[in-house]
Homo-oligomer: A and B are copies of this chain.
């Protein structure tokens, strides 16, 4: 495969780890990264080590930043944790900006792919980001790691604009949906009819919690008594209180996760046949349960069986989000270069069902 240049929007846990993983992958050159306060662009390739070191523990993406823009003092390491200099601008490669996404768009002719690694607090946030690229006639690939079923339809509404611009959007391309959606699509190949897809995940996130507050906040929105607006408006203290209430181990059942609509659009099963649940343990790094995809179906010769895909407990959430995100990015760019535009879910980048 030819070389791929890419940008990362958002340098929270996912964006930072995507940059890090990309340094171990062939054919990928990160050329831009931004957060809400700054942007780093180098078409020759960002110095990922410098960027990660300079911004370690320094993420300008959570709601506390929005309410405490007091320009507060520098943190111990000389990096501002909050205020105007928080986030990616702590890197020598970055400049402060009021318009980070526009700055990336301005340089996007030389950028093959854009990975959107921003928590999707407003339902239409990622669709609106996609709109801005389409309006600028960006003719590359956009990957997101969104989790909400209802957002897929919003992207589909933009199919004509994407086609006109020559854009390929791969949505829901993290761990779940993403990696596990693809696994379900593949596991389905034994069968001619799918009865059920069960996706069950375990995440242990003790040491990675600080780096993944956005992800945890978004997960809380999946609890029965909360929605995405609640989660977005909650203070850090309120989030902590929910975590404490569950003694740091939160079990999710029947989550609204985009795996369902992504498998339906790939023609594999009805959205209602898909269930997603899991356990998030913030008290330990060990996974509280083994991440497993179970696909039950009927074979052409009349048997019923369940194929399974399991991730080793020692593979972290970060490994299982970022490897697949980059893998789907490569697949998306390939489609884009072949002239296939529009919206693709992970299941559509697998063998057909």
| Residues of A that sit less than 8 Å from B by CB | 1, 17, 20-21, 24-27, 179, 182-183, 186-187, 189-193, 267, 299-301, 303-316, 318-320, 322-324, 326-331, 334-335, 338-340, 346, 349-353
Contacts and interface: CB of A to CB of B under 8 A. Distances in A.
A143 to B, nearest CB: 11
Interface centre among A191, A301, A320 (most CB of B within 10 A): A301
A315 B319 contact: no
A306 to B, nearest CB: 5
B331 A190 contact: no
- DSSP class of A's interface residues: helix, strand, loop or mixed? mixed
A314 B305 contact: yes
Nearest to A331: B351
B351 A351 contact: no
Given A267-B26, A334-B352, A303 B324 contact: no
B192 A323 contact: yes
Interface centre among A303, A318, A327, A351 (most CB of B within 10 A): A351
Which A-B residue pairs are the 5 nearest by beta carbons? A330-B352, A305-B312, A327-B351, A24-B192, A338-B338
Contacts of A299: 314-316, 319, 323
Nearest to A173: B351
A312 B308 CA distance: 8
A13 to B, nearest CB: 12
B189 A186 contact: no
